[in-house]
Structure 1
Amino acid sequence: GAVLAAVLVGFDFVAPFGFDPVWARSLPFAVALPVYGLAWGWNGEALGLRLRPRQGWGWWVRAGLVLGGLVLVVVGVVGGVGLLVGVELPPPVEAPWGEWVVWFRQACLQAPLVEEGTYRFVLCLPLLALWGRWPAILGSAVVFALLHVRYGVPAPDNFAGGFVFAWSYVASGTLVVPIVLHACGNLFVIGSQALYAWWMMG
Protein backbone atom coordinates (compact mmCIF):
# COMPACT_ATOMS: atom_id res chain seq x y z
CA GLY A 1 0.00 0.00 0.00
CA ALA A 2 2.74 2.46 0.92
CA VAL A 3 4.70 1.80 -2.28
CA LEU A 4 1.59 2.20 -4.42
CA ALA A 5 0.69 5.41 -2.58
CA ALA A 6 4.18 6.82 -3.16
CA VAL A 7 3.99 6.02 -6.88
CA LEU A 8 0.50 7.46 -7.34
CA VAL A 9 1.11 10.60 -5.30
CA GLY A 10 4.44 11.04 -7.06
CA PHE A 11 2.65 10.80 -10.40
CA ASP A 12 0.28 13.62 -9.46
CA PHE A 13 3.12 15.62 -7.93
CA VAL A 14 5.55 15.59 -10.84
CA ALA A 15 3.20 15.24 -13.83
CA PRO A 16 2.82 18.42 -15.90
CA PHE A 17 -0.79 19.00 -14.86
CA GLY A 18 -2.48 21.97 -13.32
CA PHE A 19 -6.18 21.69 -12.69
CA ASP A 20 -6.73 20.07 -16.08
CA PRO A 21 -7.15 17.50 -17.48
CA VAL A 22 -9.29 16.33 -14.59
CA TRP A 23 -9.29 12.71 -15.81
CA ALA A 24 -5.49 12.54 -15.50
CA ARG A 25 -5.51 13.89 -11.97
CA SER A 26 -8.24 11.38 -11.08
CA LEU A 27 -6.02 8.43 -12.03
CA PRO A 28 -4.37 7.98 -8.59
CA PHE A 29 -7.77 7.55 -6.91
CA ALA A 30 -9.08 5.34 -9.72
CA VAL A 31 -6.05 3.03 -9.49
CA ALA A 32 -5.94 2.94 -5.69
CA LEU A 33 -9.67 2.34 -5.13
CA PRO A 34 -9.83 -1.32 -6.25
CA VAL A 35 -6.47 -2.13 -4.64
CA TYR A 36 -7.38 -0.57 -1.29
CA GLY A 37 -10.88 -1.97 -1.54
CA LEU A 38 -9.53 -5.51 -1.75
CA ALA A 39 -6.92 -4.85 0.95
CA TRP A 40 -9.49 -3.42 3.39
CA GLY A 41 -12.27 -5.84 2.45
CA TRP A 42 -14.41 -3.10 0.89
CA ASN A 43 -15.13 -1.83 4.40
CA GLY A 44 -16.55 1.66 3.86
CA GLU A 45 -15.77 2.64 7.45
CA ALA A 46 -12.12 1.61 7.16
CA LEU A 47 -11.73 3.17 3.71
CA GLY A 48 -13.34 6.45 4.70
CA LEU A 49 -15.96 6.06 1.99
CA ARG A 50 -19.10 6.23 4.11
CA LEU A 51 -21.53 9.02 3.20
CA ARG A 52 -22.40 10.20 6.71
CA PRO A 53 -19.65 11.31 9.13
CA ARG A 54 -19.39 9.50 12.44
CA GLN A 55 -20.36 12.61 14.41
CA GLY A 56 -23.24 13.68 12.13
CA TRP A 57 -23.40 16.67 9.80
CA GLY A 58 -24.45 19.20 12.43
CA TRP A 59 -21.28 18.60 14.39
CA TRP A 60 -19.16 19.12 11.28
CA VAL A 61 -20.90 22.35 10.32
CA ARG A 62 -19.94 23.78 13.72
CA ALA A 63 -16.46 22.27 13.56
CA GLY A 64 -15.96 23.64 10.05
CA LEU A 65 -16.69 27.17 11.21
CA VAL A 66 -14.23 26.83 14.09
CA LEU A 67 -11.54 25.25 11.91
CA GLY A 68 -12.00 27.90 9.24
CA GLY A 69 -11.53 30.56 11.88
CA LEU A 70 -8.33 28.92 13.10
CA VAL A 71 -6.94 28.77 9.56
CA LEU A 72 -7.76 32.48 9.16
CA VAL A 73 -5.87 33.22 12.37
CA VAL A 74 -2.80 31.35 11.09
CA VAL A 75 -2.94 33.17 7.76
CA GLY A 76 -3.53 36.50 9.49
CA VAL A 77 -0.56 36.08 11.82
CA VAL A 78 1.80 35.02 9.03
CA GLY A 79 0.50 37.77 6.74
CA GLY A 80 0.80 40.36 9.49
CA VAL A 81 4.39 39.38 10.19
CA GLY A 82 5.10 39.61 6.46
CA LEU A 83 3.72 43.15 6.29
CA LEU A 84 5.76 44.16 9.34
CA VAL A 85 8.99 43.00 7.73
CA GLY A 86 8.22 44.83 4.51
CA VAL A 87 6.54 42.25 2.28
CA GLU A 88 4.27 44.09 -0.14
CA LEU A 89 0.67 43.16 -0.77
CA PRO A 90 0.22 41.21 -4.01
CA PRO A 91 -1.42 43.01 -6.93
CA PRO A 92 -5.12 42.29 -7.42
CA VAL A 93 -6.17 39.67 -9.92
CA GLU A 94 -7.26 41.34 -13.15
CA ALA A 95 -9.33 38.90 -15.16
CA PRO A 96 -12.52 38.93 -17.24
CA TRP A 97 -15.67 37.38 -15.83
CA GLY A 98 -15.22 34.18 -17.83
CA GLU A 99 -11.86 33.47 -16.20
CA TRP A 100 -13.36 33.83 -12.72
CA VAL A 101 -15.98 31.24 -13.69
CA VAL A 102 -13.26 28.85 -14.88
CA TRP A 103 -11.29 29.46 -11.69
CA PHE A 104 -14.40 28.65 -9.63
CA ARG A 105 -14.92 25.39 -11.53
CA GLN A 106 -11.32 24.35 -11.12
CA ALA A 107 -10.80 25.42 -7.52
CA CYS A 108 -14.18 24.67 -5.96
CA LEU A 109 -15.29 21.60 -7.92
CA GLN A 110 -12.32 19.84 -9.52
CA ALA A 111 -9.53 20.45 -7.00
CA PRO A 112 -11.46 19.27 -3.90
CA LEU A 113 -12.48 16.04 -5.61
CA VAL A 114 -9.16 15.05 -7.18
CA GLU A 115 -6.83 16.38 -4.46
CA GLU A 116 -8.77 14.89 -1.56
CA GLY A 117 -8.94 11.62 -3.47
CA THR A 118 -5.16 11.63 -3.87
CA TYR A 119 -3.76 13.38 -0.79
CA ARG A 120 -6.25 11.99 1.69
CA PHE A 121 -7.58 8.65 0.39
CA VAL A 122 -4.53 7.44 -1.55
CA LEU A 123 -1.92 8.82 0.87
CA CYS A 124 -3.52 8.73 4.32
CA LEU A 125 -4.73 5.14 4.43
CA PRO A 126 -1.28 3.49 4.08
CA LEU A 127 0.25 6.05 6.46
CA LEU A 128 -2.48 5.31 8.99
CA ALA A 129 -1.79 1.59 8.73
CA LEU A 130 1.98 2.09 9.08
CA TRP A 131 2.36 4.86 11.65
CA GLY A 132 -1.02 5.80 13.06
CA ARG A 133 -3.22 8.88 13.09
CA TRP A 134 -0.99 11.90 13.70
CA PRO A 135 1.96 10.92 11.49
CA ALA A 136 -0.54 10.22 8.69
CA ILE A 137 -2.24 13.58 9.16
CA LEU A 138 1.06 15.47 9.33
CA GLY A 139 2.52 13.63 6.34
CA SER A 140 -0.55 14.33 4.24
CA ALA A 141 -0.48 18.02 5.18
CA VAL A 142 3.22 18.39 4.35
CA VAL A 143 2.93 16.73 0.94
CA PHE A 144 -0.20 18.78 0.16
CA ALA A 145 1.63 22.00 1.06
CA LEU A 146 4.63 21.01 -1.08
CA LEU A 147 2.29 20.42 -4.02
CA HIS A 148 1.17 24.04 -3.79
CA VAL A 149 4.77 25.22 -3.52
CA ARG A 150 5.38 23.38 -6.78
CA TYR A 151 2.38 25.19 -8.26
CA GLY A 152 3.87 28.53 -7.23
CA VAL A 153 1.44 29.34 -4.41
CA PRO A 154 3.45 28.71 -1.21
CA ALA A 155 0.88 30.25 1.15
CA PRO A 156 0.64 29.20 4.83
CA ASP A 157 -3.03 28.35 4.42
CA ASN A 158 -2.07 25.40 2.22
CA PHE A 159 -0.33 23.60 5.08
CA ALA A 160 -2.99 24.64 7.60
CA GLY A 161 -5.73 23.59 5.20
CA GLY A 162 -4.02 20.30 4.39
CA PHE A 163 -3.73 19.54 8.11
CA VAL A 164 -7.42 20.30 8.65
CA PHE A 165 -8.50 18.25 5.63
CA ALA A 166 -6.42 15.24 6.68
CA TRP A 167 -7.64 15.42 10.27
CA SER A 168 -11.26 15.73 9.16
CA TYR A 169 -10.89 12.69 6.90
CA VAL A 170 -9.49 10.55 9.68
CA ALA A 171 -11.86 11.85 12.35
CA SER A 172 -15.08 11.76 10.32
CA GLY A 173 -14.51 8.46 8.56
CA THR A 174 -15.64 9.89 5.25
CA LEU A 175 -13.92 11.58 2.33
CA VAL A 176 -17.00 13.78 1.88
CA VAL A 177 -16.09 16.04 4.83
CA PRO A 178 -12.64 17.14 3.57
CA ILE A 179 -14.05 17.55 0.05
CA VAL A 180 -16.70 19.95 1.37
CA LEU A 181 -14.20 21.80 3.59
CA HIS A 182 -11.75 22.09 0.70
CA ALA A 183 -14.45 23.47 -1.61
CA CYS A 184 -15.60 25.99 1.00
CA GLY A 185 -12.03 27.08 1.69
CA ASN A 186 -11.29 27.66 -1.98
CA LEU A 187 -14.60 29.49 -2.40
CA PHE A 188 -13.57 31.81 0.42
CA VAL A 189 -10.20 32.43 -1.28
CA ILE A 190 -11.85 33.24 -4.61
CA GLY A 191 -14.37 35.52 -2.92
CA SER A 192 -11.61 37.31 -1.03
CA GLN A 193 -9.60 37.77 -4.22
CA ALA A 194 -12.66 39.17 -6.00
CA LEU A 195 -13.39 41.64 -3.18
CA TYR A 196 -9.73 42.66 -3.00
CA ALA A 197 -9.66 43.27 -6.77
CA TRP A 198 -12.88 45.29 -6.59
CA TRP A 199 -11.55 47.36 -3.67
CA MET A 200 -8.12 48.02 -5.23
CA MET A 201 -9.37 48.80 -8.73
CA GLY A 202 -12.53 50.63 -7.73
Structure 2
Amino acid sequence: MVVELVFLVASTSLAVVLTGHGPVSAGVLALALAAPTVVAAGLAILITRLRGNGPRTDLRLRWSWRGLRLGLMFGFGGMLVTIPASLVYTAIVGPEANSAVVRIFGGVRASWPWALVVFLVVVFVAPLCEEIIYRGLLWGAVDRRWGRWAALVVTTVVFALAHLEFARAPLLVVVAIPIALARFYSGGLLASIVTHQVTNLLPGIVLLLGLTGAISLP
Protein backbone atom coordinates (compact mmCIF):
# COMPACT_ATOMS: atom_id res chain seq x y z
CA MET A 1 0.00 0.00 0.00
CA VAL A 2 1.35 3.39 -1.01
CA VAL A 3 0.48 5.09 2.28
CA GLU A 4 2.23 2.43 4.37
CA LEU A 5 5.27 2.60 2.08
CA VAL A 6 5.43 6.38 2.52
CA PHE A 7 5.23 5.93 6.29
CA LEU A 8 8.04 3.36 6.34
CA VAL A 9 10.28 5.36 4.00
CA ALA A 10 9.77 8.56 5.99
CA SER A 11 10.44 6.79 9.30
CA THR A 12 13.57 5.09 7.98
CA SER A 13 14.90 8.28 6.40
CA LEU A 14 14.52 10.26 9.61
CA ALA A 15 16.15 7.48 11.61
CA VAL A 16 19.14 7.48 9.25
CA VAL A 17 19.46 11.27 9.41
CA LEU A 18 19.35 11.31 13.21
CA THR A 19 21.71 8.36 13.70
CA GLY A 20 25.25 9.34 14.51
CA HIS A 21 24.51 13.03 15.11
CA GLY A 22 25.11 12.90 18.84
CA PRO A 23 22.55 14.07 21.41
CA VAL A 24 19.25 15.12 19.88
CA SER A 25 16.81 17.51 21.51
CA ALA A 26 13.31 16.51 22.55
CA GLY A 27 11.86 18.90 19.97
CA VAL A 28 13.72 17.23 17.11
CA LEU A 29 12.72 13.79 18.38
CA ALA A 30 9.09 14.90 18.61
CA LEU A 31 9.25 16.07 15.00
CA ALA A 32 10.83 12.79 13.93
CA LEU A 33 8.10 10.89 15.77
CA ALA A 34 5.21 12.88 14.33
CA ALA A 35 6.32 13.63 10.76
CA PRO A 36 6.04 10.14 9.18
CA THR A 37 2.52 9.50 10.49
CA VAL A 38 1.32 13.02 9.69
CA VAL A 39 2.62 12.75 6.11
CA ALA A 40 1.13 9.27 5.64
CA ALA A 41 -2.23 10.27 7.13
CA GLY A 42 -2.32 13.38 4.98
CA LEU A 43 -1.68 11.24 1.92
CA ALA A 44 -4.49 8.87 2.96
CA ILE A 45 -6.94 11.77 3.20
CA LEU A 46 -5.73 13.15 -0.13
CA ILE A 47 -6.29 9.76 -1.78
CA THR A 48 -9.89 9.66 -0.55
CA ARG A 49 -10.50 13.14 -1.95
CA LEU A 50 -8.90 12.50 -5.34
CA ARG A 51 -9.93 8.89 -5.96
CA GLY A 52 -12.82 8.26 -3.59
CA ASN A 53 -15.71 9.91 -1.82
CA GLY A 54 -13.77 11.89 0.78
CA PRO A 55 -12.70 11.02 4.34
CA ARG A 56 -16.20 11.20 5.84
CA THR A 57 -17.40 8.38 3.58
CA ASP A 58 -14.27 6.36 2.82
CA LEU A 59 -12.64 6.59 6.25
CA ARG A 60 -15.86 6.92 8.26
CA LEU A 61 -14.23 9.99 9.81
CA ARG A 62 -17.10 11.91 11.36
CA TRP A 63 -18.09 13.25 14.76
CA SER A 64 -20.65 11.48 16.94
CA TRP A 65 -21.32 11.34 20.66
CA ARG A 66 -21.79 7.58 20.35
CA GLY A 67 -18.34 7.23 18.84
CA LEU A 68 -16.85 9.28 21.67
CA ARG A 69 -18.63 7.20 24.33
CA LEU A 70 -17.57 3.90 22.76
CA GLY A 71 -14.02 5.16 22.38
CA LEU A 72 -13.79 6.06 26.05
CA MET A 73 -15.41 2.77 27.04
CA PHE A 74 -13.05 0.61 24.98
CA GLY A 75 -10.08 2.81 25.90
CA PHE A 76 -10.42 2.66 29.67
CA GLY A 77 -11.94 -0.82 29.61
CA GLY A 78 -9.10 -2.05 27.44
CA MET A 79 -6.60 -0.93 30.07
CA LEU A 80 -7.90 -3.72 32.29
CA VAL A 81 -6.37 -6.09 29.74
CA THR A 82 -3.47 -4.17 28.23
CA ILE A 83 -1.82 -3.02 31.48
CA PRO A 84 -1.63 -6.54 33.02
CA ALA A 85 -0.54 -7.89 29.62
CA SER A 86 2.26 -5.30 29.49
CA LEU A 87 3.44 -6.19 32.99
CA VAL A 88 3.44 -9.91 32.26
CA TYR A 89 5.14 -9.47 28.89
CA THR A 90 7.83 -7.23 30.39
CA ALA A 91 8.49 -9.79 33.12
CA ILE A 92 8.93 -12.51 30.48
CA VAL A 93 10.80 -10.64 27.75
CA GLY A 94 12.70 -8.05 29.79
CA PRO A 95 13.87 -4.64 28.48
CA GLU A 96 12.99 -5.58 24.89
CA ALA A 97 9.34 -5.20 25.87
CA ASN A 98 9.82 -1.46 26.37
CA SER A 99 8.46 0.80 23.65
CA ALA A 100 10.95 2.11 21.10
CA VAL A 101 9.63 5.60 21.85
CA VAL A 102 10.58 5.23 25.52
CA ARG A 103 14.04 3.96 24.55
CA ILE A 104 14.54 6.84 22.08
CA PHE A 105 13.70 9.44 24.71
CA GLY A 106 15.68 7.68 27.45
CA GLY A 107 18.29 10.04 28.88
CA VAL A 108 16.80 13.06 27.09
CA ARG A 109 15.77 16.02 29.22
CA ALA A 110 13.46 18.83 28.19
CA SER A 111 11.69 21.87 29.55
CA TRP A 112 8.03 21.51 30.46
CA PRO A 113 6.81 23.16 27.22
CA TRP A 114 8.79 20.74 25.03
CA ALA A 115 7.84 17.80 27.22
CA LEU A 116 4.21 18.83 26.77
CA VAL A 117 4.72 18.90 22.98
CA VAL A 118 6.00 15.31 23.13
CA PHE A 119 3.01 14.36 25.29
CA LEU A 120 0.57 15.87 22.77
CA VAL A 121 2.28 14.07 19.88
CA VAL A 122 2.20 10.70 21.65
CA VAL A 123 -1.33 10.96 23.06
CA PHE A 124 -3.20 12.90 20.38
CA VAL A 125 -1.35 13.38 17.08
CA ALA A 126 0.16 9.92 16.55
CA PRO A 127 -3.06 8.00 17.42
CA LEU A 128 -5.14 10.23 15.14
CA CYS A 129 -2.81 9.75 12.19
CA GLU A 130 -2.29 6.02 12.76
CA GLU A 131 -6.03 5.43 12.94
CA ILE A 132 -6.55 7.25 9.65
CA ILE A 133 -3.99 4.90 8.08
CA TYR A 134 -4.94 1.56 9.65
CA ARG A 135 -8.54 1.60 10.88
CA GLY A 136 -9.46 4.16 8.22
CA LEU A 137 -7.93 3.55 4.81
CA LEU A 138 -6.72 -0.04 5.29
CA TRP A 139 -9.86 -1.11 7.18
CA GLY A 140 -12.08 0.24 4.42
CA ALA A 141 -10.12 -1.54 1.69
CA VAL A 142 -10.20 -4.91 3.48
CA ASP A 143 -13.82 -4.51 4.58
CA ARG A 144 -15.03 -3.90 1.03
CA ARG A 145 -13.31 -7.05 -0.20
CA TRP A 146 -13.54 -9.56 2.65
CA GLY A 147 -15.80 -8.09 5.33
CA ARG A 148 -15.53 -6.53 8.79
CA TRP A 149 -14.04 -9.53 10.60
CA ALA A 150 -11.23 -9.75 8.08
CA ALA A 151 -10.68 -6.00 8.45
CA LEU A 152 -10.42 -6.38 12.22
CA VAL A 153 -7.84 -9.18 11.99
CA VAL A 154 -5.77 -7.73 9.15
CA THR A 155 -5.54 -4.21 10.56
CA THR A 156 -4.65 -5.53 14.02
CA VAL A 157 -1.78 -7.64 12.69
CA VAL A 158 -0.52 -5.00 10.25
CA PHE A 159 -0.65 -2.35 12.98
CA ALA A 160 1.46 -4.51 15.29
CA LEU A 161 4.04 -5.36 12.62
CA ALA A 162 4.23 -1.85 11.13
CA HIS A 163 5.81 -0.51 14.31
CA LEU A 164 8.89 -2.59 13.41
CA GLU A 165 9.27 -3.62 17.04
CA PHE A 166 9.12 -7.34 16.45
CA ALA A 167 10.01 -8.29 20.02
CA ARG A 168 6.89 -6.38 21.10
CA ALA A 169 4.63 -7.53 18.26
CA PRO A 170 2.58 -9.99 20.38
CA LEU A 171 1.99 -7.29 22.98
CA LEU A 172 1.07 -4.76 20.29
CA VAL A 173 -1.53 -7.20 18.97
CA VAL A 174 -3.12 -7.29 22.43
CA VAL A 175 -2.98 -3.48 22.66
CA ALA A 176 -4.56 -3.14 19.21
CA ILE A 177 -7.54 -5.43 19.91
CA PRO A 178 -9.62 -2.92 21.95
CA ILE A 179 -8.88 -0.26 19.34
CA ALA A 180 -10.06 -2.53 16.53
CA LEU A 181 -13.14 -3.56 18.52
CA ALA A 182 -14.05 0.11 18.96
CA ARG A 183 -13.89 0.54 15.19
CA PHE A 184 -15.83 -2.69 14.64
CA TYR A 185 -18.76 -1.98 16.96
CA SER A 186 -19.04 1.77 16.32
CA GLY A 187 -18.85 1.56 12.54
CA GLY A 188 -16.79 4.75 12.52
CA LEU A 189 -13.24 5.96 12.97
CA LEU A 190 -13.83 8.35 15.87
CA ALA A 191 -14.24 5.55 18.42
CA SER A 192 -10.95 3.89 17.48
CA ILE A 193 -9.17 7.27 17.53
CA VAL A 194 -10.41 7.97 21.06
CA THR A 195 -9.59 4.43 22.20
CA HIS A 196 -6.07 4.74 20.80
CA GLN A 197 -5.60 8.11 22.49
CA VAL A 198 -6.74 6.73 25.85
CA THR A 199 -4.41 3.74 25.36
CA ASN A 200 -1.48 6.11 24.81
CA LEU A 201 -2.38 8.27 27.80
CA LEU A 202 -0.29 6.44 30.41
CA PRO A 203 2.81 6.13 28.17
CA GLY A 204 2.42 9.83 27.38
CA ILE A 205 2.35 10.74 31.07
CA VAL A 206 5.42 8.58 31.71
CA LEU A 207 7.29 10.36 28.90
CA LEU A 208 6.19 13.76 30.17
CA LEU A 209 7.48 13.05 33.66
CA GLY A 210 10.63 11.35 32.37
CA LEU A 211 11.60 14.22 30.08
CA THR A 212 11.24 16.73 32.90
CA GLY A 213 13.29 14.57 35.26
CA ALA A 214 10.44 13.83 37.64
CA ILE A 215 10.95 10.09 37.13
CA SER A 216 13.52 7.85 35.44
CA LEU A 217 12.49 6.30 32.14
CA PRO A 218 12.96 2.50 31.98
TM-score (norm 2): 0.68
Name which of 135, 160, 167 aligns with 1:120.
135
Alignment of 1:24-173 (within 5 A): 24-34=39-49, 35-37=51-53, 44=57, 47-52=59-64, 57-58=68-69, 60-83=71-94, 93-97=107-111, 98-149=113-164, 154=168, 156-173=170-187
> Whole-Å Cα distance in 2 between the matches of residues 81 and 23 of structure 1?
34
Contact 2:89 2:97 in 1 (8 A): no
> Whole-Å Cα distance in 2 between the matches of residues 88 and 106 of structure 1?
21
> Whole-Å Cα distance in 2 between the matches of residues 198 and 153 of structure 1?
28
**Equivalent in the alignment of 1:3:** none
**Equivalent in the alignment of 1:7:** 2
Contact 1:112 1:179 in 2 (8 A): yes
> Whole-Å Cα distance in 2 between the matches of residues 71 and 136 of structure 1?
21
Contact 2:72 2:198 in 1 (8 A): no
Q: Shift in Å at residue 122 of structure 1?
A: 0.6
**Equivalent in the alignment of 2:29:** none
Name structure 2 gaps, 5 residues minimum: 15-32
Q: Shift in Å at residue 121 of structure 1?
A: 0.7
Structure 1, residues 71-111: CA drift from partner, whole Å, max 9, x if none?
1122122112235xx97988855422244223113212221
CA RMSD of aligned residues (A): 3.4
> Whole-Å Cα distance in 1 between the matches of residues 56 and 207 of structure 2?
41
Name structure 1 gaps, 5 residues minimum: 1-5
